[in-house]
């Protein structure tokens, strides 16, 4: 163990801390800019709507993954329907 190792370690930890803070600040700035942009946009759309103007803005539809319960429900419906159809075709 030497003093050089300790000072290098402290310098490294300080650099990591500074980088982490820089990253967090940049992320916070992006979030604030996004939020303020959406607030301004909302105000403009409301002003247009109050004037009677129509906007061609369409809220983008985000397709989400199905939940586990939805997948299981769909799977059970398919298997039950397939079985009944199969049995009907056998015995009719």
The C-alpha atoms of residue 11 and residue 13 are separated, in whole angstroms, by 6
Residue ranges of domains in the chain: 3-52+66-91
Taking only the tens place, the pLDDT of each residue in 5-43 is 999 999 999 999 999 999 999 999 999 999 999 999 999
- Of the two residues 64 and 11, the one the predictor is more confident about is 11
Kindly give, in sequence order, each residue whose CB lies less than 8 Å from that of residue 66, ignoring residues fewer than 6 positions away.
Answer: 74
Q: Give me the pLDDT at residue 22, please.
A: 97
């Amino acid at each position: 163990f030497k003093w050089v190792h300790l000072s290098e370690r402290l310098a490294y930890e300080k650099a990591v801390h500074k980088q982490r803070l820089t990253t967090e600040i940049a992320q916070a700035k992006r979030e604030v800019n996004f939020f303020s942009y959406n607030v301004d946009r909302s105000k403009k759309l409301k002003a247009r709507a109050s004037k009677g103007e129509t906007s061609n803005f369409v809220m983008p539809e985000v397709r989400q993954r199905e939940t586990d319960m939805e997948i299981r429900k769909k799977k059970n419906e398919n298997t039950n329907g397939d079985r009944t159809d199969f049995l009907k075709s056998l015995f009719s």
